[in-house]
Amino acid sequence: MKLTVNGKEVECLAGTTVAALIKERKLNAACIVVEYNHTILKQNEWEGVVLNQHDTLEIVAFVGGG
């Protein structure tokens, strides 16, 4: 199935959770924030959210800035 992660369309197996996707991408869970279909997910919610076709995920982190 297809979903959008950080503005890019990606392929993903049905049944994948947000937590699994984060792990698969080797992202550092300690310093990212996830927005799922425009709603911010708490880290303890990642495991319980199963991704669906056409979902939108934003995964963000702090970077240097003024």
Partner 1 sequence: MKDQFIIGGQEVSSRLLLGTGKFSSNKIIPEVVRAAGAQVITVALRRVDPEKAEENIVSHIPAGCILMPNTSGARTAEEAVRIARLAKAAGCGNWIKIEVISDAKYLLPDNIETIKATQVLAAEGFVVLPYMSPDLMVAKKLVEAGAAAVMPLGSPIGSNRGIKTKELIRILIEEISVPIIVDAGIGRPSEAAEAMEMGAAAVLVNTAVATAGDPVAMARAFSMAVTAGRLAYLADPEDRKVYASASSPLTGFLHS
- Minimum Å gap between C-beta 25 and partner 1 is 5
Which helix (H) or strand (E) element contains residue 10? strand 8-11
Bridge partners of residue 46, in order along the sequence = none
Q: Which amino acid is at 19?
A: A
Residues of the shown chain interacting with partner 1 in the complex, contacts defined by CB under 8 A: 6-7, 25-28, 30-33, 35, 38, 40, 42, 58-66
Instruction: Judge contact between 21 and 57, C-beta under 8 A.
Output: yes
CB of 57 to partner 1, least distance (A): 10
Query: Minimum distance between the CB of residue 13 and partner 1, rounded to whole angstroms?
Result: 17
d(CA 29, CA 13): 21
